[in-house]
Structure 1
């Protein structure tokens, strides 16, 4: 019996190591390529460890365009979307979780249906409407279409439903208003879920390429993924080392955000699983 348990643990460990390799290898390859010379990127079979670390690739990527401007645009758009989403999904999730009103099931179903509609299907009417409002080539054109999130409402609703009704009744007996219950009870209890959603939202919109490409035509409001896309050709040769250096600049804020949010993410999954 003891040997079977040891064998199961070994198999589980091997499986976890394989998963780590599958997900870590593309990132490791990107980092390795970003530090190579251009001839080294063409070698087959490829070398994982560069012979000479070309840190100048990052400088070349940075000066290939107004990278600081792209980064500020990406931060503005991602933060603006996240703030608006928090302002909309928290009260909506609370209403769907704690209230029963006529048509609540139908309305929640309509919210869930929006998860099935890809952005590529609705971008044309949204583009035309933003054009009428003269918002193209502005940050608002990249923020307003994502001011709410059906996934966020669903995720937070499930978390709010797990809060005991007795706790809310006790707060109401103490003359607490609904907004006080939301801010002082519901939000603190759902902090891991909110942190998880915030990270997912930040990653999705920080990496978004399609929407900024459609809604902008100049550098005024263009974001970092579009700036990276410009590092494609130089003198007719694909500069993969410089391109990968640009991608490393792109993913660094995501890694930093994940580092600070990982504990909350683990708590969110553990909390949901226990309940």
Structure 2
């Protein structure tokens, strides 16, 4: 049976419209909680429990952000989050670049087996390692220090895998030409590999920044003083002295925490998509 062209075209448009509808629904499900958090952060206290609830506040209560910043040592929490996140990000990028180059362009005995172990490491949940890591750090005296927050994350198996896939897509003729011109391994990494895999480095940086910036569980376990807490842990302490919760202040603190990640992704999403796509070109 031959389906008329008009019927086939209509069916194609219907399927496309249905897919877009599903995407719109999924987008709304993901965005609405964020919009509600922003709305609550801008509301005066009396509007938090108003019924029926409203999205747009009657007035913008900027004082919620000031109170959130002053209710807890947010300045110290912010410094800890920035320092820990950027230190881990720098270490992971350097380690990923060198390890990915070794696994993609150097030939040595056991290379593929060692890389397999890296892939297996990606399957081990962090929670499984918390207890043994805690006792090891306790012996070293690293509990409630930056060492406990940074050392476990200086390398990342997923980052090595992602960057390696991009390095494999670099033409061999380009690498051979660089070697003829006198470039060593460091020169090849700096002048050829890193520029060629720029999108993958940026996408991995975004993922790493998001993971470490939003990490709550690990800092909660490894720190026990105010001076070492990070922003996600600090949100718990946005309470009044009586222990009640002012949700507008809590949401203002949450907005302060999530805003850097949102802005970073908005400006870097093009490179993020390119990096994820280019990592699967060859492997």
Q: Aligned equivalents of 2:209 and 2:160: distance in 1?
A: 16
Q: For the Cα contact (< 8 Å) 1:138–1:220, is it kept in 2?
A: no
- SS of match in other structure, 1:116: coil
Question: 1:203 — aligned with what?
Answer: 210
Question: 2:43 — aligned with what?
Answer: 36
Deviation at 1:115, TM superposition (A): 1.4
Q: TM-score, normalised by structure 2?
A: 0.90
Matches within 5 A, 1:180-199: 180-199=187-206
Report whether the alignment pairs 1:25 with 2:32: yes
Question: 1:268 — aligned with what?
Answer: 275
Question: 1:256 — aligned with what?
Answer: 263
Report whether the alignment pairs 1:88 with 2:95: yes
Q: Aligned equivalents of 2:95 and 2:138: distance in 1?
A: 24
Matches within 5 A, 1:88-167: 88-167=95-174
> Which consecutive residues of structure 1, in runs of 5 or more, have no partner in the other structure?
none
Deviation at 1:146, TM superposition (A): 0.3
Q: For the Cα contact (< 8 Å) 2:163–2:200, is it kept in 1?
A: yes
Q: How many residues are paired up?
A: 275
Question: 1:218 — aligned with what?
Answer: 225
Q: TM-score, normalised by structure 1?
A: 0.92
Deviation at 1:160, TM superposition (A): 1.0
- SS of match in other structure, 1:238: coil
CA 1:146–1:272: 2 relative to 1, 3 Å: closer
> Which consecutive residues of structure 2, in runs of 5 or more, have no partner in the other structure?
1-5
Q: Aligned equivalents of 2:172 and 2:116: distance in 1?
A: 24
Deviation at 1:240, TM superposition (A): 1.3
Counterpart among 232, 247, 250 of residue 243 in structure 1: 250
Q: Aligned equivalents of 2:220 and 2:148: distance in 1?
A: 11
Q: Aligned equivalents of 1:158 and 1:267: distance in 2?
A: 13
